[in-house]
Structure 1
Amino acid sequence: MICYSTKYKAGIGGKAEGLYKLRELGLQVPDFLVIPYENFENSIAESNAEGKGPEGISGKLSQYKLPAEDWEQLKNILQQWDFPQKPVVVRSSVLDEDGSKNAFPGVMDSFLNIGSYEALETAIANCAASAWSPRAMAYRKQHHLNPVAHPAVIVQQQIDPDSSGVLFTTFPNFPQEMAIHAVPGFAEGLMNGTAEGDEFYFLKKSTKLHRQIISTKTSALQRSGNLGLKPVKITKEKQEIPCMDVAVLEELFQAAQAAENISGYPLDIEFAVKEKELFILQARPITQEIPEVVVYDNSNIQESYCGVTTPLTFSFASRAYETVYRQTMQVLGLSSQEIAKHDKVLSNLLGLVKGRIYYNINNWYRGLQLLPSFKQNKADMELMMGLQEPVDFIGDVEKPLREKIRLLPGLVKNYYRLWRKFSKLHILVPEFQQKFQKHYSGFYKELSPVLEPSEFLQKKKALDENLLNSWSIPIINDFNVMMLNGSVIRNLKKAGINEPEEFLGRYLSGDQEIESTQPTIAMIELAEQAAKVETIKKVILALHPDLHQSIEKDHFKFFLKVKNFIHHYGDRTVGELKLETTTMRVDPQIFYKYLRNFLGRENPAKINLQQISEEAKAELDKALTGKSFFFKRKLRKKLKKLQMAIRYRERIRLERTRLFGMYRSIYRAYGSYLVENSFLEKVEDVFYLAEEELLHTKFNGELKRNITDRQAEYESYRKQEVPSRVTIPSPPVEEEKRVEDPFVLQGQGCYPGQISGEVVVIKDPGDNLDVNNKIICALRTDPGWAALLPTSKGVLIEKGSALSHSVILLRELGIPTIINIPNLCNRLISGEKVTMDGGTGEILKENVDKEAL
């Protein structure tokens, strides 16, 4: 029996099936025929009946002769191929070969350059016999496969290639790539590891050849009549030249990409090139595990955790995120079993890269898969997170129709639950705040400056149970903001607003109920009061080390107002979510540093609340001219809902800041106990221990040494620059050399205004914070910058979102602002003078003739 034109017969084996599938894709496969397993079945059965083991069966098969009828059929086909003038190849196609888990790489024998009928008959027999060889049997045992091999054999036209090789449609080392390795002539040396070939790597997403390694090729395997293959020397001028043209490489990439897309899994493909014509010789699934590509991005989270943080902050933040999102799943009605399936996702929402906190984007996307409309929510989340480049490694989980019908009732319930929560936020948010205030109001009255282990555990447990474990409402509102923001952006585009994000920022300006402006308003009022009393103003401007004590002694009424401010807003500081940050509550001297900035201005900052917003509303009215009544009503209604959701978010974020402040206080109090008992050198050392270490570590002398080593490690991180996105594994891509104008920087304008001034670069809360009448230059900002921003002339932010808390505040303050300025903090240094345009996003270094550039 010979299988030639008929495909997918039961006994043709995995490799032959693969060749037929390649043909179906329209790829050029050298003509082939298959001698199915049925031809060898009797020989195997007879050997088994005689009690022969694998060695005996292999010997029996090596003597196999095709029946006369099959031999005549084979000869007729070979004559069409111009055999024996043109040679053929004999390959194995065992029934379970080239499967999704077991490829049998190089286990069975192949025979090249067959140029006679006698040699062909011998090769067919030996190829079938190799399925029962000791090597093949060992492979089967090792992989727990059926010990009975079912061989089939392929006879295929041989291509005498100019070059040939192998490719992995997905490269296991770097799954973003397709890897192509090739040599001049036949690729047998490449397959068995005796030859070094050229390597070509395409980025699958961009479809571009982005790196290559060209070897020195001194010889190539070529056909030598019927004598097999022999090495032929390559002339010196061709030894360093790539063995494949770019055009052929691109054709090969497209063909392989199509094969992977249709098959649904990565493929190992062998190919040959003859006179620039591409032939696909065989394809099998890649059985090696392909690692997940994990993307870490800090575009948004660095607003909250700027720069290098400490192990305690990271461990606490990770636990907080896990706790809160687990609650959210419960609110959405997911069963405990379903939530348990996502334990690994929930415990790894964050990552730590060289001391910086990043979002694990893969796991955030997996969380979105639990909600309806994955693609839409994914786009909305990317917008809110400030991701400049989407991540496509995690997609929607497409389910069969029957599964969709089965899940429909639960999905409808989730929709309803989510909608009900959104519709009740006007009740739920005040209730949440009321509950929070109940615990917050008495916390510091009862807190001892030194907490023994039992007291520390008690305080921590109380915060966990009473507040952290009841934090689902903020997350529900964040989802509401995310979805509303995305919907509004899409509708603004339909209305003809070309830059909807920038427009939305202006439209939402002037909201007097935004909570993030309240600390600034309160500090301005204190500054105005201090300015009226010359002795208070003088002592604050002098900023003596014992300033707080002096104010208490000499100006007690003013001291009480300061104390009240610190009680309400003492945790709102630059880097406020980093537990190691020294806040106003920890050191009141910081409050006076901020206040001094206000006193140093001749005209204290006044908040601009209306003008920009009114202009944006007029712009929207104009854009909506001619639109339908229903479209107008829908858009305006969603804008109103978004504004309210953002108000809720800003209110709740202050409570989050206070919650972190309470945890900070109990950790510091426990640190004081550890210092008193000589376990730590100083209180701040406690931040270099993770939560689990604080709870379970046996404190001894070795602990101090470990902390010292860890502090040195994190100090080294502060000297290293890290990108906003880290991909693991990441292929070694050669970056394009960008020619930067040394005098001009460009970002995204957020609030209009042209100003000139001195720059003060702030990368860390410990940097110089004297920003009075200067242009702040920051890596990122968070709500804790509220006390610094009002006294500045302008603000430049390397990474930011138009809807971030600090940018919202800057619009309220009417301060020219530019965000997303590449490499900003490395291109400017404190003391430099620049001119910035908050409308166009352009920054020009001083003493430069702009017209001459």
Structure 2
Amino acid sequence: MALENNGLFIPESQLMPPAHAAAHLGGKGAGMLRLRALGAPVPAFVVLPTALFEPGLAGLPTTAAGLAERRARLGSFEVPTATQAALRAVLAGWGFGAGQPVAVRSSVADEDGGAAAFPGLMDSVLHVADWPALLAAVARVAASAYSERALAYRRQRGLPLAARPAVVVQRQVAARAAGVLFTTFPEYPQEMAIHAVAGLAEGLVNGQLVPEEYYLGKADGQLVAQVASEVVEVAALDLLPAKSAPYAVASPAAVATATLLSTITLAELYHLGQRLEAALGGPQDIEFAQDEAGRLWLVQARPLTQPVPEVVAYDNANIQESYCGVTTPLTFSFAQRAYATVYRQTMRTLGLPAAVVAAHEPVITNLLALQQGRIYYNLNNWYRGLLLLPNFRQSKADMERMMGVLEPVDFVRDQRKTLAQRLALLPRLALTLGRLLGEFARLPGQVRAFQARCEAEYQRFYQLPLATLGAAELLREIEHLNEALLTRWTTPIINDFRVMMAHGAATRHLTHLGVADPDEFLSRYLAGSPAGPGAAAEPLASLLPALALRELGELARQEFPALLPLLENPGPELPAQVARLAPAFHERVRHYVAHYGDRTMGELKLETETMRTSEALFYRYLVAYLAPPAAPATAPASLPAQAAAELTARLSGRGWWRARQVRGSLAALRQAVARREALRLERTRLFGMYRAAYRALGQRLAAAGTLGAPLDVFLLTEAELASAARAGGPQWAALAAQRQAELAAYRAALAPAGRLVVPARPVAAPEAAAPADGRLRGTGCYPGQVSGEVVVITDPAQADLGAVRGRIVAALRTDPGWAALFPGCRAVLIERGSALSHSVILLRELGIPTIINVPGLTQHLRSGQRVRLDGRTGEVEVTAE
């Protein structure tokens, strides 16, 4: 270190490598040096470095007596004559002795570091105005490195007891206001926190004054919250601890000001905080002061030592369609494992090295999260997975569209890479892209092979005598399903990638053509046959159960009219009655259940009752199909034709190559969506097999006394059930009872929002405000103007399916199982959904006007109200009770 001979470090005249700064200037001095190097506004300062104090401490042990001697020697420290002369010269230039005070502050070598902050543990002396007071303050501040509180902190943190003090002398700002800025607020990391008081900040950091609080959004700097406090002038000598001289509010005008910091000042602090956090490599604790002229000064910056939790965004915009409402532990543990299994397969299929796959295990195993009993996507981990793809930004946008993420988040960002890093990654990314495109080309054949394998396993499974198998045998059957199907689920997930990328490409092409609302255009264009506009009618595979149910309704009306009175009022005894009175019709019902019995509302929740587990449920669905079908509000065939004509007009004069690109992207999207719906039906059947196996296992465990009731099987996780089947014991019944109570509490509480950010500022959730003009607005997904009576459904399991016939359904959310009641509806309103969700696809196919993402829908509407809606504009108006 090239210190001047006088032993004084003057930042204006010398530079010091950052690696040496803390060791010689102490943590605070090094921090201010870094701020100055970054161009931050730092008041003038000098440092009495560690080398000045070390000779007096040489040879002293760190025993109790040695530490006391160190404190005593530093307390009587005399600044060398040469250093005093140099210090006098510098301070004279500040006006010291002529009305300009200085602050004398500790700067121990390991103070203000990333691991140890020593917050307020060493002394600072303010308002030092003359030379004798300055020399006394230097000795006092240096000695405070060995105060009892500082030593206790060292012992607690496991730090060396031999402190290496340095001392900072800094021009003191005549502050109208001062405070502390946390560039990231640890309690709510998506915010920046600013606490300020009138005058200097010492009263704030010492806890003597109640500050005014400001919280700014990290993303945009907007004021999120403000907490005012009474501003009090400080004058009493005994208000502060003995370690500091009294201080006063510089301007009486500031005392009367309700808001200490102006909007302009907050914006300046925001930009300073953002810049310094990025430059210094992490969240910072910054002390600032504002002088009478309004200029900001930074007097300290140190890393935050308390851990800052990761901000995680949970969203159920898409997954709530499959896992609506409160979900049992068995379903969540199974779904979490299923997602992880499929994700691993996909990474291997894309050619990612085994080491990369292993490194992503924490991501893979936490794609889902349980919040207040409900399943959410962990968006952070989904975004991290996209980092492995060639174009993160484009893939992120495509995934958000497909998942119906209404508010994209940026907690996970692509790392900025150097040219050399990008070139090094290029071969792997090219391989990944090449393999993905190759998998896309092979999808038609792979889908056929996949469906054949699923059909074979489906037929094999339902030949098993599940009711007679023991617990160990049932566990082996579950493991067989894992090996035969779940671990070979790559084809559906590759097709999901195809849907995501094709939808993104089609949206970008349509935007370039000037289509103002690409999603609305796609809703019309994709409403026809999967083969394309003008092709012969070919319904999506996921629509087949609804069409078959409609056919059975027509059969009952035409050939079995004597059954209609019974079918109109279904009860648990109805299946036996139908079997006795109309065996031919009952055989058709059994055939339907064998093919589609797992397709129901909430079908991916293992605890859901399905037509396969209760044939009586089939007749509840059939009720909606017993009346003659009403003509659709808009003829479905006209919509794709209109969209195709509009596309032709927009492509006119664009050139054949551009037209080929656009039409190719739309055709690819149509084919991928059709394949996805077919593969979703296979997933439904797979989950039905797991459901049947676990229900049989519940019967075995209840018979053995391990569980109190067979359906308690859903209250344990997969791992717990395996343990319970092997060893038994009364603890499992007790755990199931405890879980039952927890789930009941979740169901009774207000449902959480569709987007949760954790940690988040806790605020009371007010009811959604009614719009000023009395209209609700959402996103129109299928056109048509309809007026009629509303039936609000918040829990489909409790819904009276017959009550929806001829009415407008208003739902919090939907899933593919709702297809059974859709044909009886006049229109459907959904509070939260995605334009590419399976439910909306089905509604478009059926020609039913649909509006999604209507804020507060189920709070504002009540069953029995009459409304008028427009499926194109997304407007809903209440017309009468």
Which range, TM-score by smaller chain? Answer: over 0.9
* 1:526/1:688 CA distance change after superposition, 3 Å: same
Distance 2:571 2:247 in 1: 88
**3-state DSSP of counterpart to 1:271:** strand
Shift of 1:290: 0.5
Shift of 1:799: 0.9
- CA deviation vs aligned residue, 1:672-731 (integer Å, no higher than 9, x gap): 223434544543332222222222135455544543443233223223222111121111
TM-score, normalised to structure 1, is 0.93
* 1:543/1:118 CA distance change after superposition, 3 Å: closer
Partner residue, 2:783: 752
Partner residue, 1:851: none
Partner residue, 1:3: 9
**3-state DSSP of counterpart to 2:661:** helix
Task: Determine if the alignment matches structure 1 residue 829 to structure 2 residue 850.
Answer: no
Distance 2:148 2:576 in 1: 88
Structural RMSD (CA)? 3.0
Partner residue, 2:677: 650
Distance 1:678 1:762 in 2: 38
Tell me, which stretches of 5 or more residues in structure 2 are unaligned? Answer: 1-6, 239-243, 530-537
Shift of 1:233: 13
Task: Determine if the alignment matches structure 1 residue 496 to structure 2 residue 525.
Answer: no
Kindly provide the amino acid, as one letter, of the partner of residue 804 in structure 1. S
Partner residue, 2:572: 545
- CA deviation vs aligned residue, 1:646-676 (integer Å, no higher than 9, x gap): 1111111000000111111111112222343
Shift of 1:748: 0.8
Distance 2:632 2:449 in 1: 34
Partner residue, 1:364: 382
Kindly provide the amino acid, as one letter, of the partner of residue 758 in structure 1. E
Task: Determine if the alignment matches structure 1 residue 116 to structure 2 residue 127.
Answer: no
Identity %: 46
Distance 2:59 2:472 in 1: 79
Give the 5 Å matches for 1:474-493.
Answer: 474-493=492-511
Answer whether contact 1:598 1:604 (CA < 8 A) is retained. Answer: no
Answer whether contact 1:601 1:772 (CA < 8 A) is retained. Answer: no
Match for 1:768 among 774, 792, 800? 800
Kindly provide the amino acid, as one letter, of the partner of residue 685 in structure 1. D
Deviates more, 1:558-567 or 1:694-703: 694-703
Kindly provide the amino acid, as one letter, of the partner of residue 356 in structure 2. E
Match for 2:222 among 184, 189, 208? 208
Task: Determine if the alignment matches structure 1 residue 262 to structure 2 residue 279.
Answer: yes
Tell me, which stretches of 5 or more residues in structure 1 are unaligned? Answer: 849-853
Distance 2:33 2:838 in 1: 59
Distance 1:235 1:78 in 2: 28
**3-state DSSP of counterpart to 2:196:** strand
Partner residue, 1:105: 119
Task: Determine if the alignment matches structure 1 residue 15 to structure 2 residue 16.
Answer: no
Kindly provide the amino acid, as one letter, of the partner of residue 53 in structure 2. F
Match for 1:387 among 397, 401, 405? 405
Distance 2:70 2:703 in 1: 80
Partner residue, 2:647: 620
Match for 1:325 among 327, 343, 367? 343
Deviates more, 1:264-273 or 1:537-546: 537-546
Kindly provide the amino acid, as one letter, of the partner of residue 512 in structure 2. K
Task: Determine if the alignment matches structure 1 residue 414 to structure 2 residue 444.
Answer: no
Shift of 1:571: 0.6
Shift of 1:812: 1.0
* 1:602/1:330 CA distance change after superposition, 3 Å: closer
Distance 2:765 2:38 in 1: 35
Deviates more, 1:606-615 or 1:574-583: 606-615
TM-score, normalised to structure 2, is 0.90
Deviates more, 1:31-40 or 1:309-318: 31-40
Answer whether contact 1:775 1:792 (CA < 8 A) is retained. Answer: yes
Task: Determine if the alignment matches structure 1 residue 711 to structure 2 residue 740.
Answer: yes
Task: Determine if the alignment matches structure 1 residue 731 to structure 2 residue 744.
Answer: no
**3-state DSSP of counterpart to 1:839:** coil
Answer whether contact 2:624 2:805 (CA < 8 A) is retained. Answer: yes
Distance 1:237 1:417 in 2: 66
**3-state DSSP of counterpart to 1:446:** coil
Kindly provide the amino acid, as one letter, of the partner of residue 108 in structure 2. V
* 1:237/1:178 CA distance change after superposition, 3 Å: closer
Answer whether contact 2:390 2:430 (CA < 8 A) is retained. Answer: no
Distance 2:282 2:857 in 1: 42
Task: Determine if the alignment matches structure 1 residue 76 to structure 2 residue 109.
Answer: no
Shift of 1:388: 1.1
Match for 2:318 among 300, 306, 312? 300
Answer whether contact 1:606 1:813 (CA < 8 A) is retained. Answer: no
Kindly provide the amino acid, as one letter, of the partner of residue 497 in structure 2. F
Kindly provide the amino acid, as one letter, of the partner of residue 647 in structure 1. A
Kindly provide the amino acid, as one letter, of the partner of residue 684 in structure 1. L
Distance 1:610 1:532 in 2: 27
Distance 1:367 1:494 in 2: 29
Shift of 1:463: 1.0
Distance 1:290 1:248 in 2: 25
Distance 2:698 2:557 in 1: 39
Distance 1:32 1:232 in 2: 22
Task: Determine if the alignment matches structure 1 residue 562 to structure 2 residue 589.
Answer: yes
Distance 2:59 2:842 in 1: 87
Give the 5 Å matches for 1:134-533.
Answer: 135-145=149-159, 148-221=162-235, 228-229=245-246, 241-275=258-292, 276-449=294-467, 451-511=469-529, 512-533=538-559
Kindly provide the amino acid, as one letter, of the partner of residue 507 in structure 1. Y
Partner residue, 1:535: 562
Distance 2:426 2:54 in 1: 50
**3-state DSSP of counterpart to 1:424:** helix
Kindly provide the amino acid, as one letter, of the partner of residue 525 in structure 1. E
- CA deviation vs aligned residue, 1:757-790 (integer Å, no higher than 9, x gap): 2212222222211221111111112111122111
Partner residue, 2:699: 672
* 1:223/1:522 CA distance change after superposition, 3 Å: same
* 1:806/1:169 CA distance change after superposition, 3 Å: same
Deviates more, 1:553-562 or 1:538-547: 538-547
Distance 2:853 2:14 in 1: 57
Kindly provide the amino acid, as one letter, of the partner of residue 729 in structure 1. P
Answer whether contact 1:169 1:178 (CA < 8 A) is retained. Answer: yes
**3-state DSSP of counterpart to 2:225:** strand
Answer whether contact 1:786 1:809 (CA < 8 A) is retained. Answer: yes
Answer whether contact 1:818 1:838 (CA < 8 A) is retained. Answer: yes
Kindly provide the amino acid, as one letter, of the partner of residue 435 in structure 2. R
Kindly provide the amino acid, as one letter, of the partner of residue 215 in structure 1. S
Distance 1:130 1:398 in 2: 44
Shift of 1:598: 1.2
Answer whether contact 1:187 1:221 (CA < 8 A) is retained. Answer: no
Partner residue, 2:532: none
* 1:495/1:233 CA distance change after superposition, 3 Å: closer
Distance 1:530 1:48 in 2: 98
Partner residue, 1:740: 771
Distance 2:656 2:110 in 1: 65
Distance 1:773 1:682 in 2: 40
Kindly provide the amino acid, as one letter, of the partner of residue 485 in structure 1. H
* 1:17/1:734 CA distance change after superposition, 3 Å: farther
* 1:451/1:635 CA distance change after superposition, 3 Å: same
Answer whether contact 1:271 1:278 (CA < 8 A) is retained. Answer: yes
Distance 1:139 1:8 in 2: 32
Shift of 1:374: 1.4
Distance 2:110 2:731 in 1: 57
- CA deviation vs aligned residue, 1:331-367 (integer Å, no higher than 9, x gap): 2223333322222222221111222111111111122
